[in-house]
Amino acid sequence: MRRLLFRGIEPVPGNHLRLLQSGVEFFPALIAAIEAARVEIYLETYIFNVDPSAEAVRDALIRAARRGVRVQLLIDGVGSRELPANWLEAMEGAGVNVLVYRPLAGDGWRSNPKSLRRLHRKLAVIDARVAFAGGMNLIDDFEPVRFDVPRLDFSVEVRGPLLAGIHASVHRLWQLVALTQLYSRRHKSGIEPSWPTDGTVRAAFVTRDNFAHRRDIERAYLSALALAREEIILANAYFLPGHRFRKLLKKAATRGVQVELLVQGHSDHPFFQAASRALYRDLLATGVKIHEYQASELHAKVAVIDGHWATVGSSNIDPFSLLLAREANIVVDDGAFAQDLRQRLRRAIGQSIALEPADWQRRPWPHRMLSWLAYNGVRLMVGLAGAGRWI
């Protein structure tokens, strides 16, 4: 059955993976890898914020460029639109190559639904020897809203043959963006990668784009949900799945699988949270358990199924991630990794409020109406963006 969980995906054996939770674990690991770089660095991010954590990464990139490392930084035109000119000038002046994915033009991103097609993946590849993939932007755990607990998010440090696909992907996207923007300083990768194969973890690198991999991440989830037998724990910051995804969650709960969703309690997008809540009543009625995280901001996009299948990535379970944005997830077939993630999610569930089915059956009609309007507003935005049918 484990092989079927990877239907359509070919997992790669021989990897070392390390799960990193929140910036307190992620930023030191990323900066240490940048400081050790000798040949090249590829870094992709949706948000490059102005705060001490992001500044430490910026300074590490500048030092790397000054010692002769080729640094390729790709940022999103919406997510990083507030990155100040003096930061860009400092990096470019030191030799960091910076490209902006789909830069803003005209009246900006809110007036043009096509601008919803964003670079949302968060990837770093250093010397083709170590990679980082997950949900964490270059933003401090306590920005923009300060909680007592760091933002809940995850990334994976990857060493091993899985790097072949990750390295090829970041290089290919850099070349594509450089070509479309007539960027003159395009380069071939200057490194001959060689990866150790003595790791024990089987994993796959799964992307979503608007070309050959339009639904790969969604299909990976759907295959795993369909075959779940014991437990599904899914933590997602922006949870608004299509009909097929919801149907599989409900069918799993009906056949006795323990299905638990960890979603935002404190949302930075109240409109989107209202749309998500339109789905809760139906899910709760079929036995799906829903927990709203309260300790801090939830930004994770992860799942564990049957204690062995796990995924960590940038893709939300919503139409913007699954139908519009460029995303990247690591899908893992390993009991130790999955149990590590599961234990961390269990602790987070302990810091959450469990939603009661009876309360949602009696939810006041103004709240239901607000959720219905928000839900259909999201559907309208997806349609205007030309994403096709939201299933």
Instruction: Return the active site residues.
Output: 120, 122, 127, 299, 301, 306
- Helices 52-66, 22-35: axis angle to 10 degrees equals 10
In total, the chain counts a number of residues equal to 391
Residue 336: DSSP 8-state: H
β partners of residue 101: 76
Alpha carbon separation from 223 to 116, 201, 313, 319 (Å, rounded): 27, 20, 17, 18
Strands 40-45 and 97-101: unpaired
Kindly give, in sequence order, each residue whose CB lies less than 8 Å from that of residue 295, ignoring residues fewer than 6 positions away: 147, 148, 149, 152, 348, 351, 352
Provide the token pair at 305: 């199924």
φ, ψ of residue 299 to 5 degrees: the values are: -125, 5
Provide the token pair at 86: 């003096």
Burial class of residue 213 in the structure, from the number of CB atoms within 10 Å of its CB (0-12 exposed, 13-18 middle, 19+ buried): middle
Residue 314: DSSP 8-state: S
How many Cα neighbours within 13 Å face the side chain of 4? Answer: 9
Cis geometry, peptide bond prior to residue 144 (ω within 30 degrees of 0): yes
β partners of residue 154: 21
Burial class of residue 16 in the structure, from the number of CB atoms within 10 Å of its CB (0-12 exposed, 13-18 middle, 19+ buried): middle
d(CA 178, CA 317): 30
End-to-end CA distance of the chain: 26
